Amino acid sequence: MSKTLNNKKIAFILCTNNELYYQECCYYIQNLIIPEGFETDIIAVREAESMTSGYNAAMKSSDAKYKIYLHQDLFLIRKDFITELLDVFSNPEIGMVGLLGTDQAIKHAHFASDWDMGSIIHNNFLTVFEVNFYKKEQTSFCPVKFIDGVLIATQYDIPWDEIHYDKWDFYDISQCMHFSEHGYQIAVLNASESFGYHDIGFCSLEQYDKYRKYFCENNTGFQYEELRTNYYIPKEINEVNKAMINAIENRLFDIPYQIRDIYKNNIICDNTYSYILFFLNILEKELNQYKTPLLLKMECFQDFIDTYNQIKFFMLRIDFGLETTEAKSIANLIKEEVISIALIEEIIQRSCVNQQKVADAITENLHDSWQFS
């Protein structure tokens, strides 16, 4: 017997393995405008064996009619997101809504590189950029066939296929097929300004092709073919990262700089390696600014990653107009020599959309002559 769903309740569902990212995702959710008479809930699924098993567990536990399944590294930067979403769901024929999608049944099913509807801001750890396919002639939504799993909103409960999609890839495409088979339409929000900022970094596609192949072999109209990508990840990357981090923590800086030079002609699509590069870039500047670089006050490399992300999150709140005291907090950390201007500049250049706005807010609280460039 199916349970009765509360049509005035919205559940945000996340599979999470990083508390810092989870808390920041919740910060943006809690700043959304909630329409009168509605209530919201946030369901965190920890230690899930797969995205589908985590989503199924959360779906079964919630009585919310509207469920929003999203990644922990997605920040909903437009406060009117819920209002716009409910407006689309006022059409009972629409079962699923996303931020990115396509109205094409792409034969080889490599959807991750072929979205052509909707919009989002991406940060791939090298730079920040907006993907926006706003259709001026359309209404507040565009009909599509498939949507990206970074955010999937539903107004009907259909089980996720945790038998065949038992890890972290292709669950979104599979679920789109299920909703279509049940006769529901799928849509993406259509807006000139993106609703989400995705702090995605580099996605591992190690398992993506495995599930893409299974999907193509078991769904009519699709045909698997091997595709070349621009992703470059050396087979030895885990050993390289361990060696560089070990050298950094033991203050043997010649080693990571030498390894960096070996791969200098390649863009390596690995998040840990990217953090190492950020560290080395900042350290070079701090060596010219401080007798003892501030980075060396950190006990381990994870401390650097956590500090980098926390300061980045403060800056993004400034960037998207949500901050209250973050600019002052960053300025105080600089004055107290907890973090450096070099770290601030690295983050602004790689992660902020309105870079000068963020720099000006920090400068105003620093009361010195620092100029971001």
Q: Which domains does the chain have, with CATH numbers?
A: 6-217 (3.90.550.10), 237-366 (no CATH)
**Following DSSP, what letter does each residue of 155-207 receive, concatenated?**
SS-----TTT--SSSSHHHHHHHHHHHTT-EEEEE--SS-SEEE---PPP-TT
Measured between alpha carbons, how far is 64 from 45 in angstroms, rounded to an integer?
A: 16
Cβ–Cβ under 8 Å, residues 74 and 20? no
Measured between alpha carbons, how far is 179 from 191 in angstroms, rounded to an integer?
A: 24
Tokens of 68: 């929003």
Instruction: Identify which of 252, 250, 119 has the alpha carbon closest to the alpha carbon of residue 189.
Output: 119
Within 8 A by CB and 6+ apart from 173, the residues are 109, 111, 146, 215
Instruction: Identify which of 263, 259, 254, 264 has the alpha carbon closest to the alpha carbon of residue 242.
Output: 259
What is the three-class DSSP state of 221?
coil
Measured between alpha carbons, how far is 237 from 322 in angstroms, rounded to an integer?
A: 37
Cβ–Cβ under 8 Å, residues 343 and 311? yes
Measured between alpha carbons, how far is 102 from 31 in angstroms, rounded to an integer?
A: 29
What is the three-class DSSP state of 10?
strand
- From first to last of its 373 residues, the chain has per-residue pLDDT tens of 467 999 999 999 999 999 999 999 999 999 999 999 999 999 999 999 999 999 999 999 999 999 999 999 999 999 999 999 999 999 999 999 999 999 998 888 888 888 999 999 999 888 899 999 988 878 899 999 999 999 999 999 999 999 999 999 999 999 999 999 999 999 999 999 999 999 998 876 668 888 999 999 999 889 888 876 656 677 788 999 999 999 999 999 999 999 999 888 877 888 999 999 999 999 999 998 888 899 999 999 999 999 999 999 999 999 999 977 999 999 999 999 999 999 999 999 999 999 999 999 999 888 665 666 6
What H or E segment, with its residue span, contains residue 75? strand 74-76
State the pTM of this model. 0.94
Cα 21 to the center of its chain, rounded Å: 9
Measured between alpha carbons, how far is 150 from 74 in angstroms, rounded to an integer?
A: 7
- Sheet with 64-70, side-by-side order of all strands: 39-46, 6-16, 64-70, 151-154, 94-98, 185-189, 141-144
- Max distance between CA atoms of the chain, in angstroms, equals 70
